[in-house]
Structure 1
Amino acid sequence: MSDVPVKLRAEILAQRAYKQGKPAPANSFKLSSNEVHFPPLDSVRGAAKDFSAMNRYPDASAGLVRETLAEHYGVGVDNVIVGAGSVSLLYQAVQAAASVGDEVIYPWRSFEAYPGMVTLTGAKSVEVPLRRDGTTDLDAVADAITERARLIIVCTPNNPTGPAVGQREFEQFLEKVPEDLLVIADEAYIEFVTDPNALNATRILADHPNLVIARTFSKAYGLAGLRVGYMLGHPSVMQAFATTAIPFLISAQAQAAALAVMGEPEAIRARVNEITARRDEVRRALLDQGWPVPESQANFIWLPCGEQVEGVDAILREGGIIARAFPGDGIRVSIAEEESVTPLLAACWRAIERYPYLRAEESPAE
């Protein structure tokens, strides 16, 4: 007998709620949530500190933020919507596109929130497996399209594995997708991309009315605690997504902070450059240890652990590293302050020594 005292949807009760990264105990490094470790810029602190108008509703459309984004990307204001992080906008998009009996397609493993947002609509998730190296198989995604498909979501760089889809690869994929089938490029980590051949979906947005881009201020821009994200797309599609939004979800302080941080491109680029350089340094060291780490274009790296996730995670924790474990698959480790690198690499070395068959050259063939 169920412990729930009222009648609720069975599929919702069966769904696991999204869980954020675990807090770090003293003397540990919290590398589980893909946050940037830098403190807010002074200009952002100053813009967000005015709480004198907290008795007034914020601008529900985030008009100034939309105008600034539209100018930055060279599109119309109607091509932009702003939400409480890109995840909030993804929820809006799925609700606008899919319903009972429909299908939403996405590579898997990917962003943990995707299954829940699909279940909420009554639609079915079609999870297309990643390749063994953690990359996205867009040919397989295209092959998964049926007449019931209403939406495809492609996270690039992919969270949690790190690789990005190629620009030409994505363009060829779009040629296979029906013109009336919505495709969302979830580019939450686009600022960390250093591969010139990786996808930047803004380059082709004007050519594909069925393409929508999701981006956020939570990662590179350091506003994870204030929740501001945005989408770019065809005006009629953006209007449809706007109808599913919870009103007044973006606070005035969050909007002010977003405007301020957009005025600091050089400072943000310097921070991103530090993180990406450290990311590549950590990956090279892990490859030297034998870890088959995919080439990450995000602000994290992926440790493929298979069935040894719990054991490896325990070793990391003993070494003061709080990472994000995905049972049965692997562990995602955010790249943060320089001081975290030595204990991270030391813990990873102990783990690969404890489980030597996780090494690339020693992994058993399927």
Structure 2
Amino acid sequence: MSMPQPEPVDHCGYLPAAVDPSALALNENPFPPLPSVRSALVEALGSANRYPEFLPQRMRSLLAAQLGVRDEQVVIGAGATGVIMQVLQALTEPGDAIVLTTPTFDGYPIFAQMARLRSVTVPLDVHGHHDLEAMADAARTARVVVLCRPHNPTGTIEPVADVERFLARVEPGTTVLLDEAYVEFLSPAERLDTRSLVLRFPNVVVVRTFSKAYGLAGLRIGYGFCAPELGRRLWNMQLPFGIGVTGLVAAAACYRAEDELQHRIRIIGAERRRLRAQLSKLGVYSTDARANFVYLPGVRPWREVFDSAGLRVRHYADGGARVTVGTRQSTRAVLTAVSTAALR
């Protein structure tokens, strides 16, 4: 007879999103860390009294081997946000311009302000895609341009050929931040060949994270890779003792658990397709998202719809709403909120 599992102990008054089906604003993975990853983390806690490496050389080598690139091409940060700030600190001066879409990932306007950059915004098209022509034009006088693929918050992706044409138009002196925080949710056919891309376009920095598909948002493990010369420059911004021991252990365990990861990605992808299909039956359009969320353009009062149902989703200035794909319970709650609002 199996023993009942104890309820999670909340030592600091925080209810983890993994057990809160209404927490749908941050694109967190609805599942806890993979079982093998959790076991590795528990074992690593015995070393919590020791400092990690002064600079994360072992993590760098681990990531480089997984990506098939040289160690000197890899940089590491506290989540993707840490890597992005390292890039801006290393490559920009106050007053430089950064080209962003609108809407975009919430962090980018904050990062621009922190680095004292001037934000130049380019609206997405009506289907939630980048206007790559307008972005390339705007980048002529900018120091940095950001391209998210899949895009946050719409989840859309641009065709590979269009991305390469865009990169060819951007001047070599302008850094392209290619944000692939959600790349694991794409099929192999949908992905860019970023390993060769950064060598062909040495002004490109690819940014990724263990926060989304891997479900390690609380550990803050992000990384970037680029051409060797740029990588060496960015490594100079690496924060000493900035990556904990648990980060290295968790990343290594994740790479050993690829089958477990792919199973979870399939579950999340199926739930996203179900949510979109059911929303469509209710007459609600959502963008063709390829990540762990859906985006609802601002054609309805989404804040009122979701707030009244007690659901925490991300709202945008244009009235749109981004809804994280959670558990089946979360999906039912979203659909109930939408259908109830339609009956009012």
Counterpart AA for 1:104 = I
- Distance change >3 Å, CA 199–CA 288, structure 1 → 2: farther
Q: What residue in structure 2 maps to residue 7 of structure 1?
A: none
Alignment of 1:344-359 (within 5 A): 344-354=334-344
1:172-209, Cα deviation, whole Å (9 max, x unpaired): 10111112221111000001124834545345222111
1:61-95, Cα deviation, whole Å (9 max, x unpaired): 32222212211221101111111111110011111
- Distance change >3 Å, CA 27–CA 276, structure 1 → 2: closer
Q: What residue in structure 2 maps to residue 212 of structure 1?
A: 205
Q: What residue in structure 2 maps to residue 185 of structure 1?
A: 178
Question: Does 1:247 find its partner at 2:240?
Answer: yes
Greater RCO, CA 8 A, separation 6+: 2
The Cα of 1:306 is off from its aligned counterpart by 5.1
1:150-181, Cα deviation, whole Å (9 max, x unpaired): 11111111111111122111001011111222
1:267-325, Cα deviation, whole Å (9 max, x unpaired): 000100110111111111112211120000110001122572432232442xxx32222
Q: TM-score, normalised by structure 2?
A: 0.89
Alignment of 1:335-346 (within 5 A): 335-346=325-336
Match of 1:88 among 78, 82, 85: 82
Distance 1:199 1:286 in 2: 30
Question: Does 1:131 find its partner at 2:125?
Answer: yes
Alignment of 1:1-366 (within 5 A): 28-49=21-42, 50-147=44-141, 149-194=142-187, 196-197=189-190, 199=192, 201-305=194-298, 308-317=301-310, 321-354=311-344
Is the 2:76–2:238 contact (alpha carbons within 8 Å) kept by the matching residues of 1?
A: no
Q: What residue in structure 2 maps to residue 361 of structure 1?
A: none
Distance 2:342 2:234 in 1: 46
| Partner secondary structure for residue 273 of structure 2 | helix
- Distance change >3 Å, CA 306–CA 98, structure 1 → 2: farther
| Partner secondary structure for residue 131 of structure 1 | coil
Counterpart AA for 2:139 = I
Moved more, 72-81 or 343-352: 343-352
Q: What residue in structure 2 maps to residue 362 of structure 1?
A: none
Q: TM-score, normalised by structure 1?
A: 0.84
| Partner secondary structure for residue 144 of structure 1 | helix
| Partner secondary structure for residue 100 of structure 1 | coil
- Distance change >3 Å, CA 322–CA 122, structure 1 → 2: closer
| Partner secondary structure for residue 51 of structure 1 | helix
Q: What residue in structure 1 maps to residue 10 of structure 2?
A: none
Distance 2:232 2:110 in 1: 23
Distance 1:184 1:261 in 2: 25
**Which portions of structure 1, spanning 4 or more consecutive aligned residues, are displaced by more than 6 angstroms?**
none
Counterpart AA for 1:273 = R
Is there any run of 5+ residues in structure 2 with no aligned partner, and where?
1-14
Moved more, 266-275 or 323-332: 323-332
Counterpart AA for 2:90 = A
Distance 1:122 1:294 in 2: 33
Distance 1:156 1:344 in 2: 25
Distance 1:195 1:335 in 2: 21
- Distance change >3 Å, CA 258–CA 252, structure 1 → 2: same
| Partner secondary structure for residue 66 of structure 2 | helix
Identity, % of aligned positions: 34
Q: Give the aligned length.
A: 328
Distance 2:303 2:266 in 1: 32
Distance 1:29 1:325 in 2: 15
- Distance change >3 Å, CA 130–CA 195, structure 1 → 2: farther
Moved more, 207-216 or 35-44: 35-44
Is the 2:28–2:215 contact (alpha carbons within 8 Å) kept by the matching residues of 1?
A: yes
Q: What residue in structure 2 maps to residue 15 of structure 1?
A: none
Distance 2:45 2:307 in 1: 43
The Cα of 1:109 is off from its aligned counterpart by 0.7
- Distance change >3 Å, CA 177–CA 328, structure 1 → 2: closer
Counterpart AA for 1:258 = A
Counterpart AA for 2:250 = A
Is there any run of 5+ residues in structure 1 with no aligned partner, and where?
1-21, 355-366
Q: Cα RMSD over matched residues?
A: 2.1
